Chain A
């Protein structure tokens, strides 16, 4: 029951559940960037589990490293946008971002 495969599997499901819930429920822009990070961390764990199952651990690890670099850049751009939003609009609440409609 509590072998490492199951723990990894639960971890992936848990991270995706938390990330998707946070994307829908959270209104603070910085917390949304954190939610995106949590989603990608779940996907990285899925790669590690996949490497463990099919025995191609080297490929899985190199993919995981590349993904960490790529999603850090997404976080950087997201936070840079958050800084600009705070400066121009004076708030981080995404519900205030409603000027474009229809």
Chain B
């Protein structure tokens, strides 16, 4: 059990260090020097994340050396597992979490309660890592709830702003109602099978009416967090009103973590019905269409990006649905590849928009939303941020040499290879949606590069280095993954195989 310590460290470090980060921040606040509290809590966050990174790298090395599909480790009565999907989600959460901690240095400076922000951010990262590693239905729910609790507080962080409060209330009510439905579903599964372990449930689940009801409740409950379409109405408000670093986390990993939780839960109920694949494909089509159509009429940039997250969840769900329905591992691999790419591209887009929002509004103490017309001609004054934003949105729109194209292409190819007429129509629908999405991405690029600078841009303040470094790193990642998509095959192949293995081993 040489890897057991590493798994425990990976899951526990961020959660245990979150209260310490808060305390350190409070202690340094007593010294009364300007910025002491924020420097201290940010440094403590980075140290905690560094410890987590070390455990993560240990586990990845062990995992690649062993031939097992999942490393399992039971501490007390809490079973943990590390398979391809956990490594992928934990890696994405850690990457974005670390970059957002660096990014928030100036963005959050002098906000009231800055030390709470860093503590919550680290706790949220830890909760997502735990969710990725949970091997027990109830633990899955507990991690899910911790992630939700921290994100409620982060969404409503600007508590003097009416809009933030409103977004926080909507998010809390919908998400809490969803998680109580998940809890009922877990109770039903427990009633029927007498166990909470995902593997043993998968072995004994049969299609009784109670299990079918549990499956439906799982889809509705986790669907709220994963933003499947009829349950998505909290998403644009929450993602647009949160501080920009948090928007990047919410859009980049939190909704994907909800999707992974949904996958884990229904993978245990795989034998209950044969229609999971079809259900996921229907949700995929709905998400793509609704997300794109509403995004087309948005004028605020952050709201537009939030709606585009809906359509990208659609692509992931569609890839996974193709994989489950037709039994092709390529669909699952494409789906998780899009999960990584969307995390990086949407993270980059929100960080770039946040940098511009900071320069044009927040540095002057105003909380007005950033509109597309504010961005007119911003390329002259902010070349790096606007380049990052343009590359990110063009990648999201799926232009060829960028990361988003590669994963969309992989999903579409998997769909064509499935040799099924309905899936073929779905592939055409998805490709058309991808073109439609350029209808709202292109105006941003156009405004940034081809219009006369607006008054807001001319009066804007300069961008600090702590915002530019994370943007440059993510920008490089998006371009490099587009040119050499094979670089993350060591992540996506095991994750795709893990999904196929949990869904009954095709």
Contact = CB atoms under 8 A, between A and B. Distances in A.
Interface of A: 16, 19, 23, 29, 32, 36, 39-40, 42-44, 46-47, 49-51, 53-56, 59-60, 63, 66-67, 70-71, 73-74, 77-78, 81-82, 84-85, 88-89, 94, 97-100, 102
B151 to A, nearest CB: 10
A28 to B, nearest CB: 12
Given A77-B149, A102-B297, A43 B184 contact: yes
Q: Tell which of B152, B159, B176 has the most Cβ of chain A within 10 Å.
A: B176
A47 B187 contact: yes
A74 B172 contact: yes
B58 interface: no
Contact of B194 (A54, A73, A81): A54
Given A56-B194, A77-B172, A102-B294, A43 B166 contact: no
A88 B160 contact: yes
A86 B259 CA distance: 34
Interface of B: 138, 142, 145, 148-149, 152-153, 156, 159-160, 162-163, 165-170, 172-173, 176-177, 180-181, 183-184, 186-188, 190-191, 193-196, 236-237, 240-241, 294, 297-298
Given A60-B190, A66-B142, A77-B153, A23 B177 contact: yes
Given A63-B138, A74-B172, A100-B241, A39 B180 contact: yes
- Give the dominant DSSP class at B's interface: helix
B487 to A, nearest CB: 39
Nearest to B298: A102
B183 A43 contact: yes
Q: Label chain A's interface by main secondary structure.
A: helix
Contacts of A70: 142, 145, 149
B136 to A, nearest CB: 10
A43 B173 contact: no
B298 A39 contact: no
Contact of B166 (A49, A82, A100): A100
Nearest to B155: A81
Given A50-B190, A70-B142, A74-B172, A99 B163 contact: yes
Contacts of B149: 70, 73-74, 77
Contact of A36 (B138, B166, B180, B236): B180
Contacts of A78: 172-173, 176
A27 B442 CA distance: 41
B184 A50 contact: no
